[in-house]
Homo-oligomer: A and B are copies of this chain.
Amino acid sequence: MTSKMQQIVLASRPDGAPGHDNFRLESADMPTPGDGEILVEVSHMSLDPYMRGRMDDAKSYAAPVPIGGKMEGGSVGRVLASNVANFAEGDHVFGPFGWATHSVADARMCRKLDPTQAPVTTALGVLGMPGFTGWWGLNEYGRPKQGETLAVAAATGPVGSMVGQLAKAKGLRAVGIAGGAEKCTLATDTFGFDACIDHRAHATVNDLRGALKDACPDGIDIYFENVGGKVLEASLSLMNPFGRIPVCGMIAWYNAGGLGADANGEGLTGPKLWRTILVNFLSVNGFIIANHWDRFPDFVREVAPMIADGRVKYQEDITEGLENAPQAFMDLLTGGNHGKAIVKVN
């Protein structure tokens, strides 16, 4: 075993979109697991939009990454050394190992994986946090009913594609929004969306609203919110009475600094948003999936068989090498990825 490991730390806080100088690749001594801990060699790490929030020093549901601190995130890997009875050397494991080649972690925060059931990388996407986010948000706050219409952006991402496929399985019309013709084809042909709108081909809110209206002739009953910005603005005006909006992200606004600016949501003032909620009797629920892990076993029980028999499909976008994680993350924030963003580390 090498005595050194590599990790990426937060070099400085971004002002708007992150750049390379916000990250720094460092070499460090291989950590030693303490009581109750395991040492893991990471094979694949996840890149997710929420990580952008951790780079800011703003009040949020999680503490920011400190300057000089390791970038946080979920990863999969194999146990190199264990100080607990329920993990053994060689076990495949998911845990909060961050942007690093190796990591120690509290074993209670880790979950053993069975590579014969599904590829271990699925624990980062379709069978992990993003897939679970889609499943929980749709069922708990979306309350889907057969015959209704659902709209979701980032339709080919790991959350959006889960939401769309589950909605279809429940008999809803599923309309996706994605960036570029290629993603739209992926949404309809692979993930089974009834339609997918290319938001890049509809640059203004009005254009996008028109395209969405054509794709949603009966209006929108569930707008699953993961992007904010102009997609939110276009969708809002199409919401049906008693519509539901689960809110798990707003990536279009993550780079908008303190969010005081109306970046990408030109006409969407607070009063307009509030009035739409009132006059359409909307139910809007913000959530992060971290508060609901107690339901994770139910999710796996329902969705794992759907993946196994092909009812739920997934797509991964794998970048090689830890050193390329910052670029892959920047691409993710601007929609440059195709499917679940993953970095192969070892």
Contact = CB atoms under 8 A, between A and B. Distances in A.
Interface of A: 59-61, 225, 228, 232-233, 241, 247-250, 253, 256, 259-263, 265, 267-275, 277-288, 291
A67 B188 CA distance: 48
A281 B225 CA distance: 13
A18 to B, nearest CB: 18
Given A61-B241, A284-B284, A259 B279 contact: no
Contact of A291 (B256, B259, B281): B281
A54 to B, nearest CB: 12
Contact of A262 (B61, B228, B270, B281): B270
Contacts of A61: 241, 279-281
B285 A256 contact: no
Contacts of A270: 232-233, 262, 265, 268-270, 272-273
Q: Which 5 A-B pairs have the closest CB atoms?
A: A268-B270, A277-B286, A278-B286, A284-B284, A259-B271
Nearest to A282: B286
A286 B270 CA distance: 15
A59 B271 contact: no
A283 B281 contact: no
Contacts of A250: 271, 274-275, 278
A286 B281 CA distance: 4
B271 A253 contact: yes
A281 B288 CA distance: 7
A265 to B, nearest CB: 5
Contacts of A247: 274, 277-278
B269 A262 contact: yes
B262 A271 contact: yes
A274 to B, nearest CB: 6
Contacts of A271: 228, 250, 253, 256, 259, 261-263, 265, 268
A254 to B, nearest CB: 9
15 contacts: A225-B274, A228-B274, A249-B278, A253-B275, A256-B271, A260-B267, A260-B272, A263-B271, A281-B287, A281-B288, A281-B291, A282-B285, A283-B283, A283-B286, A284-B285
Contacts of A286: 277-283
Contacts of A272: 259-260, 270
Nearest to A53: B279
A285 B232 CA distance: 17
B282 A253 contact: no
Nearest to A141: B283
Contacts of A269: 259-262, 265, 268-270
Nearest to A248: B278
A279 B228 contact: no
Contacts of A259: 269, 271-272, 275
Contacts of A262: 269-271
Contacts of A260: 267, 269, 272
Contacts of A282: 284-286
A275 B280 CA distance: 21
Contacts of A283: 283-286
A60, A270, A287, most chain B CB atoms within 10 A: A270
